[in-house]
A and B are shown apart, each in its own frame.
Chain A
Amino acid sequence: EPEVTQTPSHQVTQMGQEVILRCVPISNHLYFYWYRQILGQKVEFLVSFYNNEISEKSEIFDDQFSVERPDGSNFTLKIRSTKLEDSAMYFCASRGPGVPSYNEQFFGPGTRLTVL
């Protein structure tokens, strides 16, 4: 069964460093998302991406964040200068084309980011 994969599973970085979190969505999917979950808090929407551009973003997704689909398979989230409060689990998700699939997003296992 196709699945969304994410690498690395755990990333430790120093405050102020740049990190890139990587995701490989399901191959025929067209819509891509990033969410994050700070420990003990809700899973929060960050951004959605379609047709090579951001379609929606939340207040959390400020200028420190960027997303990119550098090739036909990867979808990345970059944090330019990490802060302690960026420590969280980051989930990538994708969904397929067409109205019947509108509701279901398929999630990856997450990348745990720890900023020291």
Chain B
Amino acid sequence: GDSVTQMEGPVTLSEEAFLTINCTYTATGYPSLFWYVQYPGEGLQLLLKATKADDKGSNKGFEATYRKETTSFHLEKGSVQVSDSAVYFCALRFTGNQFYFGTGTSLTVIP
């Protein structure tokens, strides 16, 4: 069935470091792919998305490219800030309403 596997956390980085959080998926067909972020005490917020192969989603300096050949959607940011500390969830939606989420990766950025 459809599923998402993302990098285990927690991840701790210094401010201005480069961030990569890996995400790979298994799906029959061509799902839409998403990254959600959860800041402390808040709900899951859509960070970025890509709906077809080779699309790049971007927002707030974060980017992820839909790679069909490697079934991946890795999240990257060139220079993280303390305010980026949160839990990041990779997700896919294929058919129907439901999303399939990864386990989440906790990121802590230290000054």
Contact = CB atoms under 8 A, between A and B. Distances in A.
A63 to B, nearest CB: 20
Contact of A41 (B32, B46, B89, B103): B103
Contact of A55 (B34, B97, B99, B101): B97
Contact of A31 (B45, B46, B51, B97): B97
B11 to A, nearest CB: 16
A105 B4 CA distance: 18
Contacts of A45: 98-100
Interface residues of B, number: 24
Nearest to B103: A42
B98 A56 contact: yes
B47 to A, nearest CB: 11
A107 interface: yes
Contact of B96 (A44, A56, A109): A56
Interface stretch (B12-20, B22-30, B36-44, B65-73): B36-44
A51 interface: no
> Most chain-A CB neighbours within 10 Å: which of B4, B46, B98, B100?
B98
Interface string B70-111: 000000000000000000010101001111111110000000
B109 to A, nearest CB: 21
B43 A106 contact: yes
